[in-house]
Amino acid sequence: MPRVRITRRLHFCAAHRLAREDWSEEENRRVFGDCANPNWHGHNYDLEVTVAGPVDPETGYVMDLGALKALVNRLVVDELDHSNLNLDVPWLDGIIPSTENLAVAIWERIVGHIPGPAALDKVVLWETPRQWAEYRGE
């Protein structure tokens, strides 16, 4: 049976800032630049979730993309959309919401919910159309 990767793209809008509470504003500004603005800034995030697995010969599906969309909406997008990533999301508590950390946290949030034999392959999070992070669970 051929092994195929399928991807669903979703999006959400959120505010965040990059800063450590144990650092001074000057230290945060020096390391994180404008991203440390204490009054926050925000992004339109694009999120790509890729699942890999054998193609079911009965349906032609690796996994129902509608079910994948519903799963990621419920676990991730509904919780992050129109939120403040530093303040509003329990499962991001204590994490600096860099694109890297967010991609890893989203992977951890989804990975146990993909029905086998398919498995989560990759999470890509776009902070802007010009920069993004990719995590493969490695």
Q: Which residue numbers are catalytic?
A: 35, 82, 127
Contact 116, 47 (CB under 8 A): no
Query: SS3 of 63, please?
Result: coil
**Subset of 5-64 contacting a copy of itself (CB under 8 A):** 5-11, 13-16, 18, 20, 31-35, 37, 39-44, 50, 55, 58-62
x/- letters, 74..103, toward a copy of itself (CB under 8 A): -------xxxx--xx------xxxxxxx-x
Q: Residues 30, 74, 113, 128: which binds a copy of itself (CB under 8 A)?
A: 128
C-alpha of 6 from chain center:
16
DSSP calls for 112-138: GGSPTT-EEEEEEEEEETTEEEEE---
Torsion-angle region of residue 10: left (phi > 0), alpha (psi -120 to 50) or beta?
beta
Structure tokens at 86: 């530093």
Q: Residues 24, 66, 113, 115: which binds a copy of itself (CB under 8 A)?
A: 66
Contact residues toward a copy of itself (CB under 8 A) are 2-11, 13-16, 18, 20, 31-35, 37, 39-44, 50, 55, 58-62, 65-66, 81-84, 87-88, 95-101, 103-104, 128-138
